[in-house]
């Protein structure tokens, strides 16, 4: 491991501090004032525990984007870089573990929700990191800045399918293609079929990015 790609590099540490502060703020804002926690999961804003879970999924995805963008500056490329990116994401999840354990009190005995949400957030973050890594490689080979493109793509993938799925004429299953929609469904008790679709989508997109990354690296003779 080099200093550049270490989880203790200056830009990585800044990302983790932001992650902890923002998720901590989301958790504080999510602590219910009432006694019946389970009733608050319908987002009646009293405040709702969903604030923390949506903040968590969004920021873990953003962490993946940050690490994917930074990866093109590391001394390694290809599979070594992908594995290092995954390591950074898992380290971020480890830092958030106390918050996640505290948030179990919001779930009213629904023991599988938190592991499923954590696994989904990890898969989604890896997907975002690979999208960002591929886009950054594309920009590097063309000497083009990709900052605005990166965050536009992040916002579109995060929100657009969920927002379109809210339209009455559109099948609601489309919301599961968005990390926001999938997180809401998982916390509110998703069916087995809905879970399969949500996970399959992020895994398929991640695999497609891996193929694209390898092609880009071969064309640019970086591998």
Per-residue pLDDT for 162 more than 90?
A: no
Percent of the chain with pLDDT over 70: 87
User: Higher pLDDT residue, 56 or 165?
Assistant: 56
The residue-averaged pLDDT of 81-105 equals 91
- Do 19 and 63 touch, CB atoms closer than 8 A? yes
Tokens, residue 10: 């200056």
Is the pTM of the predicted complex or chain greater than 0.75?
yes
What's the pLDDT at 141? 76
Per-residue pLDDT for 45 more than 50?
A: no
Percent of the chain with pLDDT over 90: 40
Lowest mean pLDDT segment, chosen from 27-36, 67-76, 113-122, 146-155: 27-36
User: Higher pLDDT residue, 4 or 161?
Assistant: 161
What's the pLDDT at 166? 80
47 cis-preceded (ω within 30 degrees of 0): yes
The CA distance from 124 to 73, in Å, is: 23
Per-residue pLDDT for 33 more than 80?
A: no
Domain ranges of the chain: 10-220
| Angle ∠(136,157,74) on CA atoms, nearest 5 | 25
The CA distance from 155 to 63, in Å, is: 13
The CA distance from 58 to 143, in Å, is: 29
- Do 116 and 195 touch, CB atoms closer than 8 A? yes
What's the pLDDT at 55? 92
User: Higher pLDDT residue, 169 or 135?
Assistant: 135
The CA distance from 57 to 48, in Å, is: 15
Lowest mean pLDDT segment, chosen from 82-96, 123-137, 155-169: 155-169
User: What are 170-185's pLDDT values in tens digits?
Assistant: 788 889 999 999 999 9
What's the pLDDT at 94? 94
């Amino acid at each position: 491991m080099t200093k550049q790609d270490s989880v203790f590099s200056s830009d990585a540490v800044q990302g983790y501090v932001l992650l902890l502060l923002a998720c901590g703020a989301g958790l504080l804002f999510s602590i219910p004032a009432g006694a019946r926690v389970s009733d608050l999961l319908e987002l009646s804003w009293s405040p709702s525990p969903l604030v923390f879970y949506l903040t968590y999924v969004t920021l873990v995805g953003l962490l993946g984007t940050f690490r994917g963008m930074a990866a093109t500056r590391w001394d390694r490329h290809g599979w070594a870089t992908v594995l290092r990116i995954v390591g950074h994401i898992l380290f971020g999840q480890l830092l958030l573990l106390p918050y996640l354990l505290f948030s179990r009190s919001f779930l009213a005995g629904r023991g599988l929700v938190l592991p499923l949400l954590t696994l989904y957030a990890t898969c989604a973050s890896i997907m975002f990191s690979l999208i960002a890594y591929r886009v950054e490689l594309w920009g590097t080979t063309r000497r083009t800045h990709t900052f605005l493109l990166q965050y536009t793509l992040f916002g579109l993938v995060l929100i657009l399918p969920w927002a379109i799925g809210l339209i009455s004429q559109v099948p609601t299953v489309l919301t599961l293609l968005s990390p926001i929609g999938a997180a809401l469904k998982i916390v509110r008790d998703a069916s087995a079929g809905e879970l399969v679709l949500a996970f399959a989508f992020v895994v398929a997109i991640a695999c497609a990015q891996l193929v694209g990354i390898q092609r880009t690296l071969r064309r640019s003779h970086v591998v």
